[in-house]
Amino acid sequence: MAKAAPGEQMRLLDLQVLDGRLRGLDVQAKALKDDPRLPDLHAGVTVAKSDLVVLDTAVSDAQRALTKAEDDVAAVVARIERDEARLNSGTGLSKDLVALQSEIESLTKRRGDLADTELVAMEALEDVTAKQAAQRELVANMQSVLDGVLDEVRSKLGALKMERDATLAERAALAATFAPELLSVYDRALNKYGVGAARLFHGKSEGSGMQLSAGDLADIKKASPESIVFCPDSGAILIRSEQWG
């Protein structure tokens, strides 16, 4: 059975306090990284950006449709102007002039139809452009909320890291004051069970929170004060004291 002076065993509780603090800081850090707001915010931004891509494509398509409608109108207008110039010149056979007049009338009707198509295309572009602008604003707002939460998490994680680094330095300094053999026993219990040392207080192990059986307590009482004894439930080194019963 490993041995150490009672006073040295008692000092293990100071080390356990620091290790408990480190463990608590790690739990806090994990909780921050697992912030329940982040998955929904990330998903929301992804969906909003995807919808914006669809609207960007719709705007491009509407712009092309309007450009084509404008080009079609411009082509018909140019054709009408050309025919009217020929008609107004009065040159050519009368039947040709009649044909020109008929073509101008047909083209004028065609221009009206194309103008209607142009107007529809213009309204469609205005509508989808407005939707695009609204979606861009939505994406920006959602991204701003996400960035705010991420900044909050990063800030808190940074503060936890500073506290953890300081605690680690304090722990290293304290650990260096223990005999390597005792520290090794403590670290094995800590790494295996999560608790390195705990008080035995009125027959109750503060490592497990359980009352020890009469048999376990009898065995512990038989052990010398220098003997290192362990909690049968938590595996931690049990720190005994006459004042603790």
- Fill in the DSSP letter of residue 237: E
Q: Which fold has domain 35-162?
A: Helix Hairpins (1.10.287)
Res 18: pLDDT: 98
Res 230: pLDDT: 94
- What is the distance between the terminal CA atoms of the chain, rounded to a whole angstrom? 23
3-state secondary structure 168-208: HHHHHHHHCCCCHHHHHHHHHHHHHHCCCEEEEECCEECCC
pLDDT along the chain (245 residues), means of 10: 90 97 97 96 98 98 96 90 75 67 83 92 97 98 98 98 98 97 96 94 93 93 94 94 80
Res 90: pLDDT: 65
Res 86: pLDDT: 75
- Give start-end residues of each CATH 1.10.287.1700 domain in the chain: 35-162
Res 88: pLDDT: 74
pTM above 0.95, yes or no: no
Give the CA distances from residue 69 to residues 24, 39, 117, 191, in Å, rounded to whole numbers and listed in that order: 68, 45, 7, 75
